[in-house]
């Protein structure tokens, strides 16, 4: 998925040991734009 994208949309709370975490780290290494809905849904 990461190899065929230019950005990802995720709901990631920062946990290190998860499939989502692994995907986010791969996206970061590949320089993809990451849209994290977890941060946008946090109360202000």
pLDDT of 44 strictly over 70: no
pLDDT tens-digit map of 18-33: 999 999 999 999 999 9
| DSSP label of 10 | E
Please name the helix (run of DSSP H) or strand (run of DSSP E) that holds residue 35, with its range, or none: strand 33-36
Spatial CB neighbours of 15, under 8 Å, sequence gap ≥ 6: 21
In sequence order, what are the beta bridge partners of 30? none
Query: Using CB atoms within 10 A of its CB, is residue 14 exposed (0-12), middle (13-18) or buried (19+)?
Result: exposed
pLDDT of 41 strictly over 70: no
């Amino acid at each position: 998925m990461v190899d065929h994208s230019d950005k990802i949309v995720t709901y990631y709370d920062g946990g290190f040991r998860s499939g989502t975490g692994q995907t986010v780290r791969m996206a970061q290494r590949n320089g993809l734009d990451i849209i994290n809905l977890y941060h946008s849904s946090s109360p202000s």
